[in-house]
Amino acid sequence: MSTDLPARRHTAPPYDTTPGHADRPARRPEPATPPIAFLGTGRMGGPMAANLARAGFDVRVWNRTADRAAPLIATGAVVAPTPADAVRGAGILITMLTDGPATDQAATGPDGFLAAAPGMVWVQMGTIGADWTARLARTAARSGVTFVDAPVSGSEGPARAGQLVVLASGPERRRTQLAPVFAALAKATVWLGPAGNGTNAKLVLNNWLVDLAETTAETLSFARRLGLDPGAIVDLLQSTPLGSPYAMQKAATMLTGDFTPAFALRDALKDAELAVQAAQASGTELALTQALLPRWRHAAERHADDDLAAVYTTA
């Protein structure tokens, strides 16, 4: 079944969305943007694909579990039966899959997209780690596909609101082409140099995030065991420079016990493990992150699909 449709015309917004350039007019209008193939419509990918479709792009989506892609039909997206079908006729491919092996399977497995994608721009936006990013970049080059490494910072709420931050890296010549695409997904795009730097930045940010979550859980548990009211400690922290907004948000979630996922523990644990691996490969050590991994793995036995704030239950 062919999923090819005529490209919708979509032009760039009148302003560059890169931080520090919010008031700078674009140098020239964008040409029509070709269809976009979007692979991976889970908790993050689904809202992102929907935002692209609502912004007027011609979007073809694929997900390993087809039922998770079906709701996107209501936004105007077309659901493709295979990755190869999704990319036929597309000019831009976005992958937002679980991990490196899942992304590689979609690229090179049966009905993989690379055989149908010569000349296309592949924007890899999932968090797959430094090693898989490098491997997939080499695979793309051998297939004549331009690889852009552009993971996002933000959770499900910002994904739905189009308020993510894109950590983009790759060929400079693709910035103008991708600007309207990223503008539909994010409040800001930061370009960080050659492909791979986006993933490295994402690992650094998520390492900071998991360490903050762990410190918050330990602090609340420590206060409780000393006979203090953890809620009072949160109020005290908020009145000082020590109370970072993210930590205070997670503290409130921990104390209410409502672990509805914004960032699932299984995903946070995966990202922490990827950060540790990248640190070891670079010749350094993330002592704090490495120390929390055993307890986070234990918490994930019961709370893998809950918010990462559930680590408080084992603190």
pLDDT digits (tens, 9 = 90+) for 227-251: 999 999 999 999 999 999 999 999 9
Contacts 24+ apart (CB under 8 A), 19-25: 19/188, 19/189, 19/190
58 and 81 inside one domain: yes
**What is d(CA 152, CA 159) in angstroms, rounded to the nearest whole number?**
9
Give a yes or no: residue 80 inside a domain. Answer: yes
User: What was the pLDDT predicted at 117?
Assistant: 81
Please tell me the predicted confidence (pLDDT) of residue 34: 83
Q: Do the beta carbons of residue 309 and residue 254 sit within 8 Å?
A: yes
Mean pLDDT of 301-315: 97
Amino acid present at 18? T
For the chain, give the mean pLDDT.
91
* One domain for residues 282 and 155: no
Give how many domains the chain has, as a whole number. Answer: 2
- Whether 145 maps to a domain, the answer reads yes
**Cα dihedral 190, 192, 196, 202 in deg (nearest 10):** -50
Alpha helix (H) ranges present in 186-264?
Answer: 197-225, 230-238, 245-256
Structural domain of 302: 200-314
Is residue 58 domain-shared with residue 150, that is, in the same domain?
yes
Specify the length of the chain in residues: 315
Separation CA 71–CA 77 (nearest Å)? 9
How large is the average pLDDT for residues 155-174? 96
Domain boundary among 193, 221, 237: 193
Q: Is the pLDDT of residue 6 over 60?
A: no
Give me the percent of the chain exceeding a pLDDT of 70. 90
For tokens 């936006």, what's the residue? 125
* CATH number of the domain encompassing residue 235: 1.10.1040.10
pLDDT of 55 higher than 60: yes
Same domain? For 189 and 51 the reply is yes
User: 213 and 144, same structural domain?
Assistant: no
Residue 230 lies in a domain: yes
pLDDT, tens digit, for every residue of 60-84?
Answer: 999 999 999 999 999 999 999 999 9
| pLDDT over 50 at 21, yes or no | no
Q: Give the residue-averaged pLDDT of 215-219.
A: 98
- pLDDT-derived band at 19 (thresholds 50, 70, 90) equals very low
Report which of 124, 64, 65, 68 is spatially closest to residue 100, judged by C-alpha positions. 124
pLDDT in the model for residue 32: 59
Q: How many percent of the chain have pLDDT more than 90?
A: 88
Phi, psi at residue 40, to the nearest 5°? 105, 95
| Torsion, CA 31, CA 32, CA 36, CA 42, rounded to 10 | 90
Q: Both tokens of residue 215?
A: 């410190």
pLDDT tens, 262-275? 999 999 999 999 99
pLDDT digits (tens, 9 = 90+) for 91-128: 999 999 999 999 999 999 999 999 888 899 999 999 99
Are residues 80 and 3 in contact, defined by beta-carbon separation less than 8 angstroms? Answer: yes
Q: Residue 33's pLDDT band (boundaries 50, 70, 90)?
A: confident
Question: How many contiguous H segments (helices) and E segments (strands) does the chain have?
Answer: 11, 9
Residue 23 lies in a domain: no
Write down which residue in 193, 209, 231 finishes a domain.
193
88/113 same-domain check? yes
CA–CA distance, 89 with 118 (Å, rounded to integer)? 11
Residue 237, pLDDT score:
97
Co-location of 136 and 260 in the same domain: no
Same domain for 44 and 146, yes or no, is yes
Give the residue from 193, 219, 237 where a domain finishes: 193
Query: 228-264 b/e with 16+ CB inside 10 Å = b?
Result: eebeebbeebeeeeebbeebbebbebbbeeebebbbb
Statement: residue 179 has pLDDT above 70: yes
Query: Residues 170, 309: one domain?
Result: no
Q: Tell me, what CATH number does 142's domain have? A: 3.40.50.720
Residue range 193-215: mean pLDDT, rounded: 98
Angstrom distance (rounded) from CA 253 to CA 100: 30
139 and 222 housed in the same domain: no
**1 domain-assigned:** no
